Structure 1
Amino acid sequence: MGQRTRKGEFSWVGSGEKYLDHLKPGTFENMVIGRYGGNSLAGADKNEDGLFILIGPGGTWEFSMLLDAHNTAESAELLIRTVKHISSEIEQCLSRPIHVAFKDLETLLLTTLGSDDFRSQCKEVTGETACLICVRKENYLWWFSVGDNSVYLLHPELAARGQYLLNQRNYYEWIGYVNTFDQPVACFSSGVRELRKGRNVIVMTTDGLLEYGRLEQGRQTFEDPGKLYQAFYNEKNLQSCVEAAILEVHEAQGRDSATVIAWSYYNEHAAVMPSDANK
């Protein structure tokens, strides 16, 4: 389930559909979405994750926002309403040439989230959310992160050098009642990566996929990015990969909700630096 408000747009918040004790697998356009509310035997009783996706005309780009709120889902709901409100402006940014598209998008987001109106609305919600936004346009991937959600760029050439995770998970950063944009200097991370030639897999996840089970039992498999790569970058259908990963969390009695957005993109452009340049 979830909400398709118009063509190329999809949103969902866990306060409406919790998915306790079971995975809700699905797809939207070329995106695979996995939603899981946690194992009730471990004490799970709510889901405060959320997501918002925009797909460009003809699949020319993907914009994906992943949210992990706490105390209530109100902050996630606010972020989705806010980003929906500027969705036409997001589309305008991403329709521009690649050398300005990401810069213009980041300016739009910082202006919106730092505005007096948005910060005032944040004071009316209970709780806060981590916010991760990831955009693929042409052979580049851009991300913007507040908090501890994770995005991985998976490709064999990168894996050979132990490179998987794009962003650093940052704790004590939120958007909501406690709001990084209320500080004298807002704290966030952003960046751009060139995709390698061939099949690239992008995986975005909340911490419920990473932190579950007991370390002494050898669980928490996906905190090891190499094992996450093995689970998501193979010849199986990507939806099957997402389902298998979340099933492992459920069987290990993961208490926290876990939301995953994953998609593949085949890049036909040669990377600037060939893979054997440093050999």
Structure 2
Amino acid sequence: MTELVWVGNETPFVDVISIEAVGPITVGRFGGCSRSGQTKNEDGCVVWIGEDWEWTMLLDAHDTAESAILVTQYFTSHRLEIERILNEPVETMFSVLERYVVSLLEHEAFRTACQSVQGETACLFLVRKGKYVWWLSVGDVLAYLFHPDLSKHLQYKLNERQFFEWIGRVNTFDLPVPCYSRGIRELRQGVNHLLLTTDGLIECPGAPFRDGKQLERILTTSTAGVKTLLTTIKQLGVRDSTTILAWAVEIEENVTMPGNAK
């Protein structure tokens, strides 16, 4: 399986943990606990696997799933051009990709379509190619990068949660100056672990996973790390849905080190 397009209104996974492999990516979904009042799932994701890249989108909508459906369908309709860009040389690909993604989000026809949906969605785009990851984040979906070089400096997150950015009826791309976060990071030599998650994992009662150190410990010491995360929040009675994308990337080539490193 090398692709997945899913929105929670199709299969909500309320009270149910789903673990699925899409290429190297483990996709974990849990729709929340009905005993805590959960009745629906408004998360979504798009995963495409290429020869030397992974394209991921992770969405967390509210009010209804309509905004997540719109965004996933819109980007899926542009898949051929996105994949053409992803197959460009790594030296130029990320800058071209960012311009294209932003142009799609700013397109007048898409912004008009957003006015017809009920609710809004946070959306995180993340692409890995070669020894680099690029992301563009609207809202509060989180991405983590775990590696010993980084964790010894207490560096775990790629982005920070932003609580007043969305795509949908209320749309950051309708502002005179659209607001979003983006970045590019060089992976480290050895095994890197990437984890993307909607906020049910972070907002779980008892807050067992607000510390990136706890997430890293579970993800890197267990082959069933994603299942462990979801089982824990299910036992704690989390209401909000949680969707996780996690995978490991091994880098053999040299990476950036300080000039005085021995």
User: Are the aligned partners of 1:157 and 1:275 in contact in 2 as well (CA < 8 Å)?
Assistant: no
TM-score (norm 1): 0.91
- Residue in structure 2 matched with residue 242 of structure 1 by the alignment: 226
User: Are the aligned partners of 1:140 and 1:194 in contact in 2 as well (CA < 8 Å)?
Assistant: yes
**Separation (CA, whole Å) in 1 of partners of 2:164 and 2:259:** 37
Q: Which amino acid aligns with 1:211?
A: E
The question of 1:230 aligning with 2:233 is answered no
- Residue in structure 2 matched with residue 4 of structure 1 by the alignment: none
- Residue in structure 1 matched with residue 240 of structure 2 by the alignment: 256
Q: Secondary structure at the match of 2:200?
A: helix
1:23 to 14, 17, 27: 17
Q: Cα distance, 1:35 vs. partner?
A: 0.4
The question of 1:55 aligning with 2:31 is answered no
User: Are the aligned partners of 1:41 and 1:253 in contact in 2 as well (CA < 8 Å)?
Assistant: yes
Q: Secondary structure at the match of 1:210?
A: coil
Q: Secondary structure at the match of 2:94?
A: helix
Q: Cα distance, 1:276 vs. partner?
A: 8.2
Q: Which amino acid aligns with 1:13?
A: V
1:125 to 106, 114, 117: 117
**Separation (CA, whole Å) in 2 of partners of 1:27 and 1:8:** 9
Count of aligned residue pairs for this structure pair: 262
Q: Cα distance, 1:9 vs. partner?
A: 2.6
- Residue in structure 2 matched with residue 79 of structure 1 by the alignment: 71
1:154 to 146, 155, 165: 146
Q: Deviations over 1:11-40 (max 9, x none)?
A: 111001011112111111111000000011
Alignment of 1:210-229 (within 5 A): 210-213=202-205, 219-229=206-216
Q: Which amino acid aligns with 1:198?
A: G
**Separation (CA, whole Å) in 2 of partners of 1:24 and 1:103:** 35
Greater mean alpha carbon deviation, residues 78-87 or residues 267-276:
267-276
**Separation (CA, whole Å) in 1 of partners of 2:201 and 2:225:** 13
**Separation (CA, whole Å) in 1 of partners of 2:42 and 2:253:** 39
Unaligned runs of 5+ in 1: 1-6, 214-218
**Separation (CA, whole Å) in 2 of partners of 1:275 and 1:150:** 32
Identity of aligned residues (%): 43
TM-score (norm 2): 0.97
- Residue in structure 2 matched with residue 267 of structure 1 by the alignment: 251
2:88 to 96, 101, 114: 96
Q: Cα distance, 1:67 vs. partner?
A: 0.2
Q: Cα distance, 1:260 vs. partner?
A: 0.1
The question of 1:70 aligning with 2:57 is answered no
Q: Secondary structure at the match of 2:209?
A: helix
Q: Secondary structure at the match of 2:73?
A: helix
* Residue 161 to residue 129, structure 1, CA distance change in 2 (3 Å): same
The question of 1:39 aligning with 2:26 is answered no
Q: Which amino acid aligns with 2:255?
A: A
**Separation (CA, whole Å) in 2 of partners of 1:225 and 1:31:** 19
* Residue 272 to residue 111, structure 1, CA distance change in 2 (3 Å): same
Q: Which amino acid aligns with 2:56?
A: S
**Separation (CA, whole Å) in 2 of partners of 1:134 and 1:269:** 22
**Separation (CA, whole Å) in 2 of partners of 1:225 and 1:50:** 23
Unaligned runs of 5+ in 2: none
2:134 to 128, 139, 142: 142
- Residue in structure 1 matched with residue 155 of structure 2 by the alignment: 163
Q: Which amino acid aligns with 1:30?
A: P
**Separation (CA, whole Å) in 2 of partners of 1:138 and 1:153:** 15
Q: Which amino acid aligns with 2:146?
A: L
User: Are the aligned partners of 1:152 and 1:164 in contact in 2 as well (CA < 8 Å)?
Assistant: yes
**Separation (CA, whole Å) in 2 of partners of 1:79 and 1:190:** 18
- Residue in structure 2 matched with residue 108 of structure 1 by the alignment: 100
Q: Secondary structure at the match of 2:85?
A: helix
